[in-house]
Structure 1
Amino acid sequence: IVIMLAYFIARHMYPFGSSTILTVDLGQQYVDFFAFFRETLLHHPGSFSYSFSKAIGGEMIGEWAYYLLSPFNLLFIFFPGKSIAAGVLVVTLLKYGFCGLSFAYLLSKRKLQKGWMIPTFSISYALMAWNVVNQLNLLWMDAAILLPLIIASFYDLMEKRKMKAYPLLLALMLIDNYYMAYMVCIFLVLFFIWYQITYTTKFKEFLSRTWLFASRSILAGGIAA
């Protein structure tokens, strides 16, 4: 957060200057959806399912499912009117921070690194090129936050038979943004195959872990639906 905040200040991004991070799709599409999100929650709850602000009128479920179900969007309630640009900056900074935090959790929980190496790799993960490039696709950054948590819960499911965290986190990913979620699901299938090849030696264990992965993943889909 501190690194990106310093960068935004140096670049005179609003509210620290006249420049803005509202570029490309973030400025042309998403910011209007965020304003619609705020207006719907505070003043027009009926617009959740149908709105005349969509062309000549139309259903809005698809827009909510793709653009607006991130928990971070609730922060836009506190940014009315033109100040929503500042809200976008705040949410962007928080998402960078939570990316680093979730990756630090994975590194610590799996004992992959220790000491100063944990914040070093966590900052590197948060500031990876994919995040920097896709900060203009603000809704996609939730996937980078949730993926380390899903991986950690996957290990708990396979090794400790902890049944709750994995389906709940995967369901949250599916609800948050289904477009990024399907890519996460493809990754999880490949990750599961790698895990079985690397760590499973007994056929009975192979069947048990396959059942756990399949059943909990299907449960996640059911929860999201």
Structure 2
Amino acid sequence: MDELSDLTACDGVLFDLDGVLTPTAEVHMHAWEAMFTELFTAWGIEPAYSEQDYFQYLDGKKRYDGVASLLRSRDVEVPWGDPGDPVTADTVCGIGNRKNVVFERVLRAEGIAPYPGSLALVQKLQDAGIPIAVVSSSKNAREVLTAAGIIDRFPVIMDGVVAEQESLASKPAPDVFARAAEMLGVDPARSAAVEDAHSGVQSAVAAGYGLVIGVDRGAGAATLLEMGAHVVVDDLAALV
């Protein structure tokens, strides 16, 4: 525990959102499953969608990149389209927009709350004056943070909207974690990144973070370590 005992010695701590700060990863998983199961059935695509598809092709990536990645795994290519495409469009963007409708409906109906252990760690870091940020591939990040009542805790939010505006590559590329460190004004080599996704861990490692903490919410501790996480915990309460 020595290397984790004092995150307050870091220049900054940058958190993924879904599955790290809030349990919205479960909402994303269910929304993807519902949408792709229906799509694969309608199009006669095999093999059927599975939970492993989420962790391998979707988790941590920008929405449209995830759609393209999963379809490619089934040797299916469709036009990219435009972010403004209607949910009926058989394009990467249209398919991604279908999933987002389901996600937003569930979020509004059920709400969301941060993981208690994650909130306790955020509070500890804030009390110590350590800069913190959110690094999420989701375009819904601000909506989720607002619904969870924690948006005011994060002065820097690197999300899917910013990534698109600045043409930053999706995780596992280092772009979003590297840019977030710039926005926060910290040196990645002296900072910590906290991720639950394979692609997110790879992104933080590629961006040169001195400490990459994996949170195992289902991705598998062994795989997170294989992707480059220095340590893996089941819950951030372990770091408080």
Instruction: Report TM bin, short chain.
Output: under 0.3
In terms of fraction of residues, the more helix-rich structure is 1
TM-score under structure 1 normalisation?
0.27
Which structure carries more strand by proportion?
Answer: 2
- The TM-score normalised by the length of structure 2 is 0.26
The structure showing larger relative contact order (alpha-carbon pairs under 8 Å, at least 6 residues apart) is: 2
Larger radius of gyration, structure 1 or 2? 1
